[in-house]
Amino acid sequence: MLALGIDPGTAICGYGFVEQVQGRLIAKKYGAITTSPKARMQDRLLKIHTELDALIKEFRPEVMGIEKLFFGRNATTAIPVGQARGVVLLAAAQNNLDIVEMTPNEVKMSITGYGGSTKEQIIFMVTRILNLPEPPKPDDTADALAIAIGASYEAQSLTRRNFI
């Protein structure tokens, strides 16, 4: 099963494709879609959608994991993240992808077993689980890979439950 994880953002939108092969998770492709803060918001969102749509068409994942929108202390930041999340969900719908939504704590639990894990612990575990030669950069890419891993686990769990 090939899972796509997305860490949505308008400046940096991290993505990661993770596939389960013979019981091991393997990173197929990962990186970030970046946009210029000088560009108009609609142009930034269009770039995210266009590049993500092309990646989905190229790799054909079976499921997409995305973080549930989390309103922390800064609601101003949440608005552009919500806009990016919207175009990501649009790309998923256009490509008929199943969605697994996870809270940040659920992602941390699936990677480290502890919902209060630090960013450094997540990056370490993603690097180790996927046997990467070095930690993925930027952090948004590591987060996207963590989300892909969590979505892969969740999708497999749902598949098993449907057969019982």
Residues of the chain with pLDDT under 50: 160, 163-164
Backbone angles phi and psi of 61, in degrees to 5: -70, 160
What local confidence, expressed as pLDDT, does residue 88 receive?
Answer: 98
What local confidence, expressed as pLDDT, does residue 62 receive?
Answer: 96
Q: How is the beta sheet containing 2-7 ordered, strand by strand? A: 24-34, 12-21, 2-7, 63-67, 98-102
Q: Which residue has the tokens 């949505």?
A: 8
Determine what percent of the chain falls in helix, strand and coil, rounding each to the nearest 5. 50, 25, 25
Contacts of 67 (CB under 8 A, 6+ apart): 6, 7, 8, 101, 102, 103, 104, 107, 143, 147
What local confidence, expressed as pLDDT, does residue 158 receive?
Answer: 59
- Residues tagged active-site: 7, 67, 140
